[in-house]
Amino acid sequence: MDARKVRVYIKDSLVKPYVREKLSLNDADVWRLLGLTTVDKPVEIFIKPHGRRLLDGRVVCWGRSRDWKSVLMCAFERGNASKEYSAYGVVLIESGKTESDCARALVHDASKRLGIKKLAWLE
């Protein structure tokens, strides 16, 4: 294999599936953090960032805290894709970017302004 393609091969073939699997939390973890129950069944599954649309139209998303802007925005966009949908919850997996109270306050304010009803961090 050409030496220039080795990095791309490692990143796309080996690392990407590992990271995707690590970020694809069990629904139970997300449900617990957002106060959802087993009655709340997903009818649509999203990747990049991970998320679910529930039968009643609520949208939940999750991802790394360093990607908080895109996770919040995706929840907002998916929640407004139809008038029956709503941006319900976001779970951020702490990656060292939002550990301070000031950073979390900013993220919390942004989620409120986007109409996201619940925001939680997974430490």
Contacts of 19 (CB under 8 A, 6+ apart): none
Averages of pLDDT over each 10 residues, the chain, 123 residues: 82 74 68 87 88 94 92 96 95 82 93 96 86
Residue 114 lies in a domain: yes
pTM for this prediction: 0.79
Range of the structural domain that residue 94 is part of: 25-122
Give the residue from 7, 110, 32, 101 showing the smallest Cα distance to 67: 110
Residue 2 lies in a domain: no
* Residue 20 identity (one-letter amino acid): R
Residue 46 lies in a domain: yes
Question: Per the structure, how many domains does the chain have?
Answer: 1
Separation between Cα atoms, residue 123 and residue 114, nearest integer Å: 23
Residue 67 lies in a domain: yes
User: Which CATH number characterizes residue 72's domain?
Assistant: 3.40.1350
Helix axes 101-113, 68-79, angle to 10 degrees: 20
Tally of residues, the chain: 123
